[in-house]
Structure 1
Amino acid sequence: MIDISEPIRFWLTALGFFIGIFGRYVLFSVTFWWLFNISMKEQFAHREVQTRPRRPYQHLREIGWSVLTSLIFTAMAMGMLLAWESGYTKIYTDLSDYPWYWYPISMLLVLFLHETYYYWLHRWMHKPGVYRWIHKTHHDSITTSAWTSFSFHPLESTLQAIIIPALMFLIPLHITAVGAVLLIMTISSAINHLNTEIYPRDFDRHWLGRWLIGATHHGLHHSQFRYNYGLYFTFWDKWMKTESPDFHKLFSKKTASRKE
């Protein structure tokens, strides 16, 4: 456990968290941008549906909002660290404290609850009186990229950031599982905003793939606004009949030339 009682240690720890959070965003954004805009540009050029061009300086605007998002996430992380040091959270460090099978179950439970929270929060943020103040910043990126994944208004960043720390007060989670959940969140968000479908043909109808959100699924949310509100999974959209009727057709079109 890290002792951050001294001011200088506190601020150095906060700086470390910020570098980790923002650096992780930059790392995955650069990696996916390079893979799907430089390295594989020729391979995917004939497969992708043409979309509106990105506005000038869109990436710079997205990075600016992402800096603010990372600062808010850092503040939440520091709050959780202080709460953990004071013994208020359910985070544990000894794997023997719980049966081995609790580790994957706890992660799936957190992901399910995060998905549920985000789906209903997302629908609320699309209400006309709320949208312009909170969610419009993210939707200014109509044609998305991995750089869009952290581009939120500070109010939205705060609303998104509170759920996982809140769950840490209720659900026992190993410290490495906390890191794994945050890593899954970052990778998933980058993939979903790529605007290039990375999953194989017919994956949208696969027994696993039909429940996972990818670039085509979330891209339709940015272009159509009233469909596809999920974060990691499609089940709430399926259950609530909010999955875009164009999803399977567009997915097939984007992946038609790929081998099985």
Structure 2
Amino acid sequence: MDTIDFTQPWTFAQTTLYFFLGIFGRYVLIAALFHYLFKVKYEAYFQSREVNQRPRREGQHWREVGFSFITALIFAFVGTGMVVAWQKEYTQIYTDLHEHSTLWFIVSILIILFCHETYYYWLHRWMHHPKVYKWVHKAHHDSITTSAWTSFSFHPIESVLQAIVLPVLLFIIPLHYVAIGIILLIMTTTSVINHLNTELYPRDFHRHWFGKWWIGATHHSLHHSQFKYNYGLYFTFWDKWIGTESPDFKKLFEKKTAKGEKV
């Protein structure tokens, strides 16, 4: 790749297209898979675990896909920009796995997830400010009853705000390119799960040593229906520490997982 000049307009455009196909394709593949498994094939079993019973708005599906298309374009453009920055050696991205230890490979992923969680929690709180909400975050909240397809449905301004955090961290924190791929896969998969509106985790998961800190569909669905609680992205710790976790979460989770097995 050292022989490729990504700053050339045609190369930059091609790379952006490849990124877009990968990002949008990943979204469609994962969202479609979860939709098929939990809303089609096993719908009868999981119907009792559907959190919000209100019907989805007319045309919601295609509106969400349309916003997700734009989001993927923005993410792709930012991704190509990071390739240019990497090629010019501005970033801390490394390609030799032995440049840092295996322990660091794991720890670096956890650090990125923590930083992303912290950034997003406070960004999310800011986006709910009355003077900001309708211009930035309302497009996402138009999906009161969410689905797998809601996971990438953001206003372009919000997409930009979400896209910049990982690139900024890559200028500071050494990260292997495979670790970047793992983080992006976690981002997409958890977003789909959290917006599925069907609780997938088993009974008592919210009491498990890991589960009590991990967000699922019940937790995030309450944010879409109540607006003023549950601002987290992956984890619940900021909501717990700041006191913004919904008081209805535990009761609703237990109701929706009543037939499940203990962790």
Please indicate, yes or no, whether the TM-score normalized by the shorter chain is above 0.5.
Answer: yes
1:1-260 to structure 2, matched below 5 A, reads: 1=1, 3=4, 4-49=6-51, 51-260=53-262
Identity in percent: 63
**Change in CA separation of 1:252 and 1:9 when aligned onto 2, cut-off 3 Å:** same
Whole-angstrom CA distance in 2 between matches of 1:242 and 1:198: 23
User: Following TM superposition, by how much is the alpha carbon of 1:152 offset from its aligned partner in structure 2, in angstroms?
Assistant: 0.4
* Aligned partner of residue 223 in structure 1, secondary structure: helix
CA offset at residue 6 of structure 1? 4.1
Deviation at 1:48, TM superposition (A): 3.4
For residues 114-145 of structure 1, the C-alpha deviation after alignment (integer angstroms, 9 at most, x for no partner) is: 00000000000000000011000000000000
What residue identity is the alignment partner of 1:159? Answer: L
Superposed CA deviations along residues 173-226 of structure 1, whole A, max 9, x for unmatched, are 001001111110000100000000000001011000001000000000000000
- 1:145 maps to amino acid: S
Matched letter for residue 174 of structure 2: P
Q: For 1:259 and 1:140, locate their aligned partners in 2 and report how far apart those are by CA, in whole Å.
A: 34
Give the partner amino acid of 1:141: S
In the TM superposition, what is the alpha-carbon distance from 1:49 to its structure 2 partner?
A: 4.6
Moved more, 93-102 or 221-230: 93-102
Distance in 2 of aligned mates of 1:215 and 1:44: 13
Displacement after TM superposition at 1:146 (Å): 0.8
SS of 2:58's equivalent in the other structure is coil
Q: Find the aligned partners of 1:189 and 1:53 in 2 and give their Cα distance.
A: 21
Judge conservation of contact 1:107–1:181 (CA < 8 Å) in 2.
Answer: yes
Normalising to structure 1: TM-score of the pair? 0.97
Unpaired segments ≥5 residues, structure 2? none
Cα shift at 1:51: 1.6
Q: Deviations over 1:39-87 (max 9, x none)?
A: 1111122343552100111010000001110111011101100000000
The CA RMSD over aligned residues, in Å, is 1.1
> Alignment length, in residue pairs?
260
CA distance in 2, matches of 1:209, 1:40: 24
Matched residue type, 2:73: L
Q: Is the 8 A contact 1:47 1:257 kept in 2?
A: no
Structure 1 stretches of 5 or more lacking a match? none
SS in 1 for 2:188: helix
SS at 1:83 equivalent: helix
* TM-score (structure 2 length as normaliser): 0.96
Letter in 2 for 1:139: H
What is the deviation of 1:10? 2.5
| Deviation readout 1:77-103 (Å, 9 max, x if unpaired) | 011000000000000000111122100
